[in-house]
């Protein structure tokens, strides 16, 4: 197995195991429908008064930061190169705008939509 293929397998294992992270309910709904309100509260910097909203905001912050960090090793049609100095809040805003422009896709997985949003906003320069 090549180094690139091995990294891709490791990334896919990471992405599909995110639902089993300690402290996170194993059956958490990761649809944009579920995550959106918490992500919006986080991105807007609003204090949260509910545990659920805070949990979803933290999930969003961690997920967008992690996905942006590994997006440069994804296949070219998903790959993205966000600016190195991007904050989790800025990354979340990019994802939220992408989702808001596609309300018919709110039932889809937030993580996949985030990867698409990053690819749309920051495609990597072609290698030479």
Residues in CB range of 120: below 8 A, 6 or more apart? 98
Say what the pLDDT of residue 10 is: 53
Say what the pLDDT of residue 39 is: 96
DSSP 50: S
Say what the pLDDT of residue 22 is: 45
Say what the pLDDT of residue 106 is: 97
**What's phi and psi for 106, nearest 5 deg?**
-60, -25
Say what the pLDDT of residue 28 is: 84
Say what the pLDDT of residue 49 is: 83
Delimit the domains of the chain by residue range: 3-121
Per-residue buried b or exposed e for 87-126, using 16+ beta carbons within 10 Å of the residue's own CB? ebeebbbbbbebbeeeeebbebebbebbbbbbbebbeeee
Say what the pLDDT of residue 14 is: 53
Q: pLDDT under 50 in the chain at which residues?
A: 13, 18-23, 128
Say what the pLDDT of residue 102 is: 98
């Amino acid at each position: 197995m090549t180094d690139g293929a091995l990294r891709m397998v490791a990334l896919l294992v990471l992405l599909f195991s995110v639902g089993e992270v300690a402290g996170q309910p194993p059956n958490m709904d990761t649809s944009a429908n579920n995550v959106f309100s918490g992500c919006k509260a986080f991105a807007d910097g609003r204090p949260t008064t509910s545990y659920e909203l805070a949990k979803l905001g933290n999930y969003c912050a961690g997920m967008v930061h992690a996905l942006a960090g590994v997006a440069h090793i994804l296949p070219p049609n998903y790959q993205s190169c966000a600016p190195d100095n991007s904050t989790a809040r800025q990354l979340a805003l990019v994802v939220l705008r992408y989702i808001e422009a596609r309300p018919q896709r709110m039932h889809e997985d937030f993580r996949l939509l985030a990867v698409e949003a990053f690819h749309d906003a920051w495609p990597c320069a072609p290698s030479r």
